[in-house]
């Protein structure tokens, strides 16, 4: 078999959801006319083995069923199909054809949880009434490969390690944090060394790794940060390293400050990393060592140019989101000015007719993103001014009282803060809600539903759109909110 498994993310699971985890390879759907359908497979059946091999997860399925013939052992529960019990079947397909079967989950044996006791663990800083699913401390190398989750590798067995290497499950996303044994042990717990040993083995085997450091002031910054950067610099398989500041909530018993309150400490981190970035650019042509957006905001420095981000390999770790947002806003305003003017005119007309005053659109974000949202709407307002239209949108940052501390990102906005801080009178206004504040079940972190929030805001006179919080998605969503508008 070829080295490397392509994973397209189509069967992504949601571990913050309220759904129970799968305990086996249960079939969720079968495409009509597909090889799986021809062989008699149906939703609700369970695949116990392929070519004699039991399946742990979707990686096994793809690996074992990679040829054009597969022998399956299938279990049929009562009520599914004509006869219950176990049966054998043979699947055959044309070269390149999909089997046409989808499973209820990507992991068939449950999720692996972590064996660590990280000082900075966000789970230790949650309120008592936090949803149980938020307390799930996953640390599963398979989700690192399939979904980009960061893992510590401290719970990886020798057998797992061999599997990662044999199947070339890369890139692996690994939390490194620190390399000195005593600092690692103090920061992560007694299994810390195992993580570094496994990471060394992955590097020796030539697998690509994306690394991450959660930086805790006074623990793994300063000289320890330099040691960790040196260690990473000497291992070219680690193609990107993200450094993010520790965040804390008001429920933390250990932390009450971080880089967010310390401009000088944030600037020091920027100074420490710059020589590593310079050397990587000179020798490899990439920046490789990346600071999260928060460091530049906390240091009161401009975010770097797009080229610095090497194609944004750690975008979802908060690396380059602000730069990407600003560049997208500038591109949109430059390239689609007429469209934005027409949209603004339409929104303002509707809003004024409904009895609102001021900008028609109120766009919700976290406090950390307020400056870039303001910048976007200022650019849009300039375009409107040139086109003879009124500015139509303003940003509204929601302060995170629920978590407190220095939590200020858009993805952690909760319902109780949102509803308490938005105006009681929203007559005629369009409220744009960021979809990242909801999980796949459309629930917020404090357990409210999207449906309830939309109905509450409707009772205040607002119409709502929910979209990705990016300039183009916001414009698209506003345009699509009403079929007759802006035609
Ligand atoms: S690895 Fe550390 S931070 Fe992550 S869940 Fe476990 S204890 Fe928490």
- Mean pLDDT of all residues in 2-29: 53
**Probe ligand 1: pick from 135, 137, 140, max atoms within 8 Å of CB?**
137
Is residue 97 within 8 Å of residue 40, measured between CB atoms?
Answer: no
- Mean pLDDT of all residues in 373-393: 95
The minimum-distance atom of ligand 1 relative to the CA of 124 is 8
Mean pLDDT of the chain: 91
CA angle, residues 51, 56, 58, in degrees to nearest 5: 85
pLDDT at 131 over 80: no
Taking the C-alpha atoms of residue 214 and residue 242, their distance in angstroms, rounded to an integer, is 8
Taking the C-alpha atoms of residue 300 and residue 267, their distance in angstroms, rounded to an integer, is 8
Q: Whose CA is nearest to atom 5 of ligand 1?
A: 137
- Mean pLDDT of all residues in 460-476: 95
Ligand 1 neighbourhood includes 246 CB (under 6 angstroms)? no
pLDDT at 5 over 60: no
Q: Whose CA is nearest to atom 8 of ligand 1?
A: 121
Ligand 1 neighbourhood includes 114 CB (under 6 angstroms)? yes
Taking the C-alpha atoms of residue 41 and residue 329, their distance in angstroms, rounded to an integer, is 48
pLDDT at 440 over 70: yes
Expressed in percent and rounded to 5, the helix, strand and coil fractions of the chain are 40, 15, 45
pLDDT at 16 over 60: no
pLDDT at 17 over 50: no
Radius of gyration, alpha carbons of the chain = 25
Ligand 1 neighbourhood includes 116 CB (under 6 angstroms)? yes
**Probe ligand 1: pick from 16, 152, 246, max atoms within 8 Å of CB?**
152
CA of 326 to the centre of ligand 1 (A): 32
pLDDT tens-digit readout, 213-257: 999 999 999 999 999 999 999 999 999 999 999 999 999 989 999
Is residue 197 within 8 Å of residue 227, measured between CB atoms?
Answer: no
Taking the C-alpha atoms of residue 368 and residue 397, their distance in angstroms, rounded to an integer, is 8
Ligand 1 neighbourhood includes 121 CB (under 6 angstroms)? yes
Taking the C-alpha atoms of residue 286 and residue 289, their distance in angstroms, rounded to an integer, is 9
Task: Single out the residue of 155, 151, 113, 149 nearest to residue 133, CA to CA.
Answer: 113
Tokens of 447: 């357990």
CA of 121 to the centre of ligand 1 (A): 5
Task: Single out the residue of 456, 381, 446 nearest to residue 423, CA to CA.
Answer: 456
Ligand 1 neighbourhood includes 123 CB (under 6 angstroms)? yes
Taking the C-alpha atoms of residue 234 and residue 203, their distance in angstroms, rounded to an integer, is 10
pLDDT of residue 82: 78
Which residue's structure tokens are 């501390």?
A: 405
pLDDT of residue 105: 92
pLDDT of residue 137: 86
Confidence class of residue 83 from pLDDT cuts 50, 70 and 90?
confident
For 326-360, list the strands marked E by DSSP: none
The minimum-distance atom of ligand 1 relative to the CA of 152 is 1
- Mean pLDDT of all residues in 347-352: 93
CA of 150 to the centre of ligand 1 (A): 10
The minimum-distance atom of ligand 1 relative to the CA of 114 is 6
Taking the C-alpha atoms of residue 252 and residue 122, their distance in angstroms, rounded to an integer, is 9
Q: Quick one: CA dihedral 10, 11, 16, 18, positive or negative? A: positive
Is residue 397 within 8 Å of residue 370, measured between CB atoms?
Answer: yes
Q: Whose CA is nearest to atom 2 of ligand 1?
A: 118
Q: pTM of the predicted model, to two decimals?
A: 0.88
Q: What is the DSSP string of 400-441?
A: -TTT-TT---GGG--HHHHHHHS-S--TT-EEEEEGGGS-TT
pLDDT of residue 126: 87
Task: Single out the residue of 187, 180, 325 nearest to residue 246, CA to CA.
Answer: 187
């Amino acid at each position: 078999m070829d080295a490397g498994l392509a994973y397209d993310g189509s069967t992504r699971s949601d571990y913050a959801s309220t759904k129970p985890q799968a305990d086996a390879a249960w079939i969720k759907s079968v495409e009509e006319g597909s090889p799986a359908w021809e062989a008699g497979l149906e939703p609700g059946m369970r695949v116990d083995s392929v070519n004699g091999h039991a399946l742990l997860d979707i990686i096994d399925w793809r690996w074992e069923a990679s040829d054009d013939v597969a022998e399956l052992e299938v279990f049929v529960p009562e009520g599914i199909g004509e006869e219950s019990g176990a049966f054998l079947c043979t699947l055959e397909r044309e070269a390149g054809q999909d089997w046409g079967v989808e499973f209820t989950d990507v992991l068939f044996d449950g999720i692996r949880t972590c064996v660590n006791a990280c000082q900075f663990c966000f789970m230790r800083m949650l309120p008592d009434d936090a949803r149980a699913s938020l307390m799930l401390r996953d640390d599963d190398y398979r989700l690192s490969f399939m979904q980009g989750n960061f893992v510590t590798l401290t719970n990886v067995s020798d057998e797992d390690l061999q599997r990662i290497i044999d199947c070339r499950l890369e890139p692996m996303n690994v939390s490194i944090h620190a390399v000195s044994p005593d600092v690692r042990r103090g920061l992560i717990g007694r299994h810390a060394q195992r993580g570094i040993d496994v990471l060394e083995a992955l590097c020796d085997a030539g697998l690509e790794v994306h690394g991450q450091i959660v930086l805790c002031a006074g623990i793994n910054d300063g000289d320890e940060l330099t040691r960790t950067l040196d260690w990473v610099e000497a291992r070219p398989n680690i193609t990107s390293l993200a450094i993010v500041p520790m965040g804390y909530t008001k429920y933390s018993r250990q932390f009450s400050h971080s880089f967010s309150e310390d401009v000088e400490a944030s600037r020091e981190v920027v100074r420490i990393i710059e020589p590593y970035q310079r050397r990587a650019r000179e020798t490899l042509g990439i920046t490789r060592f990346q600071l999260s957006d928060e460091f530049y905001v906390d240091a009161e420095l401009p975010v770097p140019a797009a080229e610095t981000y090497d194609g944004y390999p750690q975008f979802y770790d908060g690396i380059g989101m602000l730069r990407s947002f600003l560049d997208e806003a500038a591109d949109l305003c430059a390239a689609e000015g007429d469209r934005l003017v027409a949209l603004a005119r339409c929104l303002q007309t509707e809003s004024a007719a409904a009895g609102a005053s001021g900008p028609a659109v109120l766009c919700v974000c976290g406090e950390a993103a307020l400056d870039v949202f303001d910048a976007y709407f200022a650019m849009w307002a300039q375009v409107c001014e040139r086109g003879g239209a009124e500015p139509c949108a303003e940003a509204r940052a929601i302060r995170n009282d629920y978590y407190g501390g220095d939590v200020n990102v858009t993805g952690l906005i909760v319902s109780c803060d949102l509803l308490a801080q938005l105006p009681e009178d929203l007559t005629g206004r369009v409220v744009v809600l960021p979809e990242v504040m909801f999980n796949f079940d459309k629930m917020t972190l404090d357990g409210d539903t999207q449906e309830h929030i939309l109905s509450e805001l409707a009772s205040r006179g607002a119409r709502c759109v929910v979209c990705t919080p990016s300039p183009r998605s916001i414009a698209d969503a506003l345009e699509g909110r009403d079929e007759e508008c802006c035609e």
